[in-house]
Homo-oligomer: A and B are copies of this chain.
Amino acid sequence: MTQIIRKALDQHQDDKEKLFQEFLSFLRMPSVSNSNEHKEDMLKTADFLVKKLSDIGFQHAESFPTGRHPIVYAEYVVDPEKPTILLYGHYDVQPTDPLDEWRSAPFEPHLEGDYLYARGASDMKGQIWATISALQSVLQSSDLAINVKYLIEGEEEIGSPSLAGFMEEHKSMLACDFVLNPDAGMIAPDKPTIVYALRGLAYFELKITGPKSDLHSGSFGGVVANPANVLSRLIAAMHDNKGKVMLPGFYDDVREITENESLELSRLGIDENFYKKISGVPNLGGEEDFDPIERVGARPTLDVNGLYSGFIEKGAKTIIPAFALAKISCRLVPDQDPQKVLIGFRKFLEEQVPSSVIWELKLMSGAPAYIAGEETPGLEAFKKALKATWNVDPVLKREGGSIPVATEMKEILGVDSIITGFGLPDDQIHSPNERLHLPTQQKGVEALIRFFLGF
């Protein structure tokens, strides 16, 4: 290990306790982006990051207002001749409901063994903090081997509505050779992971309207089509018995994975039991004809995210509901187009919806899938840093989740992203009791130190 790396790692040992305390304050900020309720908290969180980045030595750090929540941007130029990396992060977090399923308050970090429980601990404040910690140790012990630009948005969990516009507006400011995006995770604590493909997303709201108001189910049951029953029939018809999605043309543009890829994926050792264990389901679902790992990484899906109709409180109310609503989202793979999925969805409804109700479909947000080029700059250096830290070759995988920003950065800034991260599959992100495995985050810091010095 080179001298400067050793120095930086020692430096980190000294900073560690203070950094952890600051991390806790970061986690205490309820930076939920999907409502206006936390607008103030979002501003505070952005300012907190601006201050921290200046404190560790960034020459420029600023909070840019947007239509909703500010974007934090900072840069450190060590030498204009050197390559430049753009770090990406998001400081916003998912909502906390259902709140009563949390064993500790979501914004009061709670330590239990190696795990730190808090909303955003893994997705992705813990990842941002690993990066900031590494940068701090390097800047205090020596200097960066690469120019660093850091962009941290506050709207990722609501589909990054302001980011694309911001990047268009500040192309030259954001100019870089490649992106490091630690918003993905590892498949296991001993398997450092780099994601080379991500699924896209098309998020819909479907509303089925029947009678002008709720009706007495006795006086009208049998003659009025029940919007909740009709919606159920429609959702049922969206899959066949083998788990295939039945929206017209849904699979037309799906890029099949290569022999080699499917071999790589099978090497990950992610099998049925893996998914059963972390999800707690008795048995898996999905497309029969594909392995679980391929179903998550390389196949598109259609899932109901929310369902509402009629009377859902305690007790009984005998009504035929006036309407029924479903939030439905499709995970997309290369080369599907959200707009084409929308067209197929409309076609499906035109064919399937009975004349006894009225339907309304809205595309709330959409992003195509992402797949990285083989020759991403910095990729080799990052692999080296991971291997030096974990003493194993990092695994390459396709991620089931969506990171639309990777696609947008490719389109707008013309650069590929190294998508990685130090969260684990059972971190329960987007769920109650989200947590972070601290020893893995720690290893992440070390890998990032090596990376920032390894050019």
A interface residues, Cβ below 8 angstroms from B: 34-35, 94-95, 97-98, 101, 158-159, 199, 201, 203, 210-226, 228-239, 275, 279-287, 292, 295-296, 299, 301-321, 324-327, 329, 331, 354-358, 364-365, 399-402, 425, 428-433
Contacts and interface: CB of A to CB of B under 8 A. Distances in A.
A236 B232 contact: yes
Name which of A159, A218, A222, A428 has the most chain B CB atoms within 10 A of its CB: A222
Contacts of A275: 220, 223-224
A315 B98 CA distance: 15
B286 A430 contact: no
Q: What 5 pairs across the A-B complex have the smallest Cβ distances?
A: A225-B285, A218-B401, A212-B280, A236-B236, A222-B295
A432 B282 CA distance: 42
A401 to B, nearest CB: 3
B314 A304 contact: no
Contacts of A399: 218-219
Contact of A327 (B159, B235, B311): B311
Contact of A281 (B201, B224, B282): B224
Given A316-B158, A316-B327, A321-B306, A214 B285 contact: no
Given A307-B307, A315-B34, A399-B218, A212 B279 contact: yes
A124 to B, nearest CB: 12
A233 to B, nearest CB: 4
Contact of A400 (B199, B222, B230, B309): B222
Given A34-B316, A305-B317, A317-B430, A97 B355 contact: no
A285 B226 contact: yes
Contacts of A231: 232, 307
Nearest to A101: B213
A313 B365 CA distance: 16
Nearest to A159: B316
A239 B292 CA distance: 32
A291 to B, nearest CB: 9
A428 B216 CA distance: 8
A380 to B, nearest CB: 27
A183 to B, nearest CB: 11
Contact of A303 (B287, B320, B402, B433): B320
B226 A432 contact: no
A56 B336 CA distance: 76
A303 B34 contact: no
Given A211-B279, A283-B355, A402-B218, A310 B304 contact: yes
A329 B217 contact: yes
A213 B433 CA distance: 9
Name which of A285, A327, A430 has the most chain B CB atoms within 10 A of its CB: A285
A309 to B, nearest CB: 4
A299 B329 contact: no
Nearest to A287: B222
A304 B311 contact: no
A101 B321 CA distance: 13
B304 A309 contact: yes
Given A224-B285, A232-B231, A292-B223, A430 B319 contact: yes
A386 to B, nearest CB: 21
Contacts of A357: 281-282
A279 B225 CA distance: 10
Given A158-B315, A281-B211, A318-B201, A303 B235 contact: no
A314 B35 contact: yes
A355 B282 CA distance: 7
Given A215-B279, A304-B228, A285 B400 contact: no
22 contacts: A94-B317, A95-B317, A98-B214, A101-B213, A158-B315, A203-B316, A219-B296, A220-B279, A220-B296, A221-B296, A221-B400, A222-B287, A222-B331, A224-B275, A224-B286, A225-B283, A228-B305, A232-B234, A307-B310, A316-B327, A316-B364, A319-B431
Contact of A213 (B158, B238, B431): B431
A304 B216 contact: no
A334 to B, nearest CB: 15
